[in-house]
Structure formats: structure tokens, C-alpha cells
Structure 1
Amino acid sequence: MSTVLEGKVAIVTGGSRGIGAGIAERLAQAGATVAITYYASPDQAELVVKLIEDKGGEAVAIKVDAGDRDAVRAGVREVVERFGRLDVLVNNAGVIDVKPIADVGDDEYDRTVAVNQTSVFVASQEAVKHLQEGGRIITVGSINADRVTYPGGTLYVLTKAAVAGFTKALAREVGPRGITVNNIQPGPTDTDMNPADGPRADGSRAHIAIGRYGTADEVASLVAYLAGPDAAYISGASIDVDGGYAA
């Protein structure tokens, strides 16, 4: 195990599966104590915790509805109270519903904006109260903020473009405190939400320069780098990890 994050405490929202689980495991491998949040999948969350603990790491799972701003704030505070500090916030929780704009209902709109956009703002707002010099805020956005190759993505893309802009603004605000803020933009990645053998996979793969889906671990490796000391001079950036999808 690496020790570059030894003594650090990290939160990964939506860390019970997919990219979030990969990020949690990778940060733990680098030595961080990791708190993952989940909402609807407690068994999967506990499995991620066990995988980390079995490899000698420390982790905890906390139930948080990413669509509830009070719950998001409370989740960040709970981690700080439990471990005495916070060093890395990874805003990963997200939802996607692909459909024509005319068919998007108000409830769908409100939920998607709450989880993908408002939770990023609120978690970051609470985190900056506790982060010290060397702190990191990393958001998992989407390459669709820059390139959209399919119809029906208006609502999802709205939220992912918003967090890319938010990243720049927050980086300016907290930079003088030695805190970096970055946004990573995965392309098609093989997860249960978007499997490499799913119904839309062939269409997506046709736009990927290297011709295949990415893996959660490939995305997580970038997050782990940005969380570490070698990335101290990277801030306000949206970094693509997309196999050339946007090339």
C-alpha cells in the first residue's frame, strides 16, 4: 500500500458502487481513512468497507441522501466529528435519466439537480469549513459537459456543465488557503449504471478513440493523483479521462 495519503481523511459521496467504490478503494490503498456515503445500497456499501478493511485500510459507510441538502451537510460534519479532520472531499454521487426534454417531469428535474448539482455545492460549502492547507475537493463530472453524442441528455448535461463552472469559481475562492479544487470528466466507463455490454454501449464506443470503455479503477487513479501532494499545482481544472471520446 502507498502512504502518500497516510493520516488523511477522505469522503467519497456515492461510494458504494461503480466509480465511487473504485475511488474509495484507491484512496484507501494510498493510506487515507475513507468515509463513503450511500443511500439505497447498504449491503454494497458494507462490502466496499470490508474490501478496504481486508487490505488493512480503515473505512466507514454513512447513509446520506445526496438529494437532501441538510443530510449532505450532516454527513460531512459526522465524518469530521468522528475522525477529527477532513482532507479530501470527492463529490461523486450522481444520477442520470436519458429522455427527451419534453418528457422530463418537474420531480425528475428537481431530483437530478439536487443530487448532481446542489449536493456538490452543499458538500463543498460544508467541507471548506474544515479543510486546511493541502485540502482537496474533487468532483466527478462528465465528458458530456464538453461533448454530447446522443439525444435525451439535456438535464444530465445541464448539471455536469454547471459543476465544471463551479469548480473554477471555487478554486479561485479557496486557492489562497492552499486548497485545490478540480473536476474530472469520465467518458463511457464500465459500471452497473453504464455497462460496456449495455444497450447504448456500441453507440458510445464508436466515439471513443481507443475503442473501449474505461474502468472504474482508471478513473480512480486520476482522483488519487489529484488527492495527493504531487498535484498541489493543479486547481480549477476539468480533466478528461475518456479514452479520446472528446478528441
Structure 2
Amino acid sequence: MGVQGVLAGRTALVTGASRGIGRGIAERLGRDGARVAVHYGRNEAAAKETVAAIETAGGSAFAIGADLSTSGAAEALWEEFDRHADGLEVLVNNAGIGSTPPIGEIGEAEYDAVFTVNVKAPFFILKHGMGRLRDGGRVINISSGLSRTAVMPDNMAYAMTKGALDVFSRDLSKVLGARGITVNSVAPGIIETDNTAELLHGSADGWDRAAALSALGGVGTPAEVADVVAFLASHGGRWVTGSWMDATGGSLT
């Protein structure tokens, strides 16, 4: 599709886009014609692979680095972004720490770290990015099915961060709605990425147990989450805001 796509002429920023779900989203938005800012925390080489994949498919992309666990990360991210673009239409807050130890084991430093990356970073990325986001734009926050189910209570602190992110999406939709900007959460279930490799492949029945959670009897892929994000980013998603989109493959039914 390349520049002929539905997002032609628009710029998108996807945080944590060097691998996994973020890479899937970045590649899809690139195929839809957006110029994609591929954010990474530490792995510049992986981010450049995502950029190369987008360009190979006929799209346009650039990599920007900012460690979201550090103070001032949001300002650093936008300073880097401003070197390449003068505004954007689509912002996808995908970067996150994907799991946490159980309540009996987690320490304060680990707790603070997951809230810093998963909640504080998206909040301040928006605080400093609202002026760069053009009217009629899109904000899509990647949540989790775990914000609505206790099926994995040992991952409690992580699930708590996604609950906070959902409230952020809901309230921010009222803040930005007057400008025609939609804000939504997309909540994946178990998706096959390197983050879930141990869960899916660490035991003989890991994959089967994960697949059994889904009404569709499978494990999701980054592309399947990216399709939902692409809809919300498109003109077709213009009347959906403040919403929580279940992309768990029916794992909550």
C-alpha cells in the first residue's frame, strides 16, 4: 500500500516499537501509509530492523531512542522526535514492562519501575505531546486483558498499571475530545512475542493452556492486535473514544 494507504501523509509514533506488539503495530501503520517514528528504549539495532522492515515494504520510518525508566524521558523522546518531524496524527503508547513478581516477592524498586514505564511515561508523553498532536488525531494506549480479570493474580502489579492506563484513556478522551482527538485503550490477551516465550514454550503444555483461555482456542499474534489499532487510527475509528477494546480473542468470556 505504501504512500497510497489510508494514513498517507500522516505521522505516527509507536513507543516500544523495536519488537513484539509494538513492532507489529509500527509495521501495520507503515503499510497503511503513515510515516512511523519507531521508539526504542535501549535496543537501537532492533529498532533499526523495524525501520528497515517498514521501508522494505514501501513505507517510511525513523528510529528515536529514549529510556522511559529515567527522569525526563518524555521530554527527551519529544526532543528526539522533533529532529525528524513537526507534529503527528497518531500516538500509540505501547512500551511497557510486561510482567512483575507476585506481591509476596516484589520489592519497592521493581514496583516503582513498572509504574514508571507503564503509567508515568505515557502520562508525561501526552502532557508534553498534546501540542504536537494535530486536531483530529488518535491516541491509542496498549492495555491488557489482565486489567479486567484475575486469571493471573501473581502478575498483580503489572495488571494494576494497565488499570491506571485505562482510566487515563477514559479521562483523556474528555480532555482532547473538543479537538476531535480520540483516545482509546486496546487490550491484548496472551500474544506470541519474546515476552511470552517462557509462558508459551517453557513447559510441555504451556501453549495449550494459553490457547484454552481464548474462546477462539488460539494464541494471538502482534498482527492481530495491530489490526485493531489500525482501525482506531483510521477514519473508520473516528466515532470511538474513551473506549476499552477487547483484543484478547475472547479470553474474558
- Structure 2: gaps spanning 5 or more residues: none
Q: Which residue in the other structure is 1:127 paired with? A: 129
CA distance in 2, matches of 1:7, 1:152: 44
**Which of 57, 60, 75 is equivalent to 2:59?**
57
Instruction: Tell me whether 1:235 sits opposite 2:245 in the alignment.
Output: no
CA distance in 2, matches of 1:202, 1:3: 37
Q: Which residue in the other structure is 2:28 paired with? A: 26
Q: Which amino acid aligns with 2:69?
A: G
Q: Which residue in the other structure is 2:187 paired with? A: 185
SS at match of 2:92: strand
Q: Which moved more, 1:200-209 or 1:220-229?
A: 200-209
Contact 1:188 1:213 in 2 (8 A): yes
CA distance in 2, matches of 1:26, 1:198: 29
Q: Which residue in the other structure is 2:213 paired with? A: 207
Contact 2:100 2:106 in 1 (8 A): no
Cα drift, residue 68 of structure 1: 2.3
Q: Which residue in the other structure is 2:78 paired with? A: 76
CA distance in 1, matches of 2:119, 2:243: 17
Contact 2:146 2:152 in 1 (8 A): no
Contact 2:95 2:117 in 1 (8 A): yes
Per the alignment, do residues 83 and 98 of structure 1 end up closer, same or farther by CA in structure 2, a change over 3 Å counting? closer
Deviations 1:96-147 (A, max 9, x none): 3342202111110111000111111011112211112211110100000001
Q: Which residue in the other structure is 2:162 paired with? A: 160
**Which of 222, 234, 250 is equivalent to 1:216?**
222
CA distance in 2, matches of 1:241, 1:43: 29
**Which of 39, 42, 47 is equivalent to 1:40?**
42
Q: Which amino acid aligns with 2:133?
A: L
Give the TM-score, by structure 1 length: 0.95
After superposing on structure 2, the runs of 4+ consecutive aligned residues of structure 1 that deviate more than 4 Å are none
Q: Which amino acid aligns with 2:143?
A: G
CA distance in 2, matches of 1:198, 1:48: 27
Q: Which amino acid aligns with 1:238?
A: W
- Structure 1: gaps spanning 5 or more residues: none
Q: Which amino acid aligns with 1:220?
A: A
Q: Which residue in the other structure is 1:226 paired with? A: 232
CA distance in 2, matches of 1:176, 1:98: 37
CA distance in 2, matches of 1:181, 1:86: 14
Instruction: Give the percent of matched residue pairs that are identical in Structure 1 and Structure 2.
Output: 39
CA distance in 1, matches of 2:170, 2:152: 27
Contact 1:143 1:246 in 2 (8 A): yes
Cα drift, residue 80 of structure 1: 3.5
Cα drift, residue 81 of structure 1: 4.3
Q: Which residue in the other structure is 1:117 paired with? A: 119
Q: Which amino acid aligns with 1:235?
A: T
Give the TM-score, by structure 2 length: 0.93
CA distance in 2, matches of 1:190, 1:50: 22
Deviations 1:18-37 (A, max 9, x none): 00000000000010000111
Q: Which residue in the other structure is 1:103 paired with? A: 105
CA distance in 1, matches of 2:99, 2:138: 29
CA distance in 2, matches of 1:126, 1:201: 41
Size of the aligned set, in residue pairs, is 247
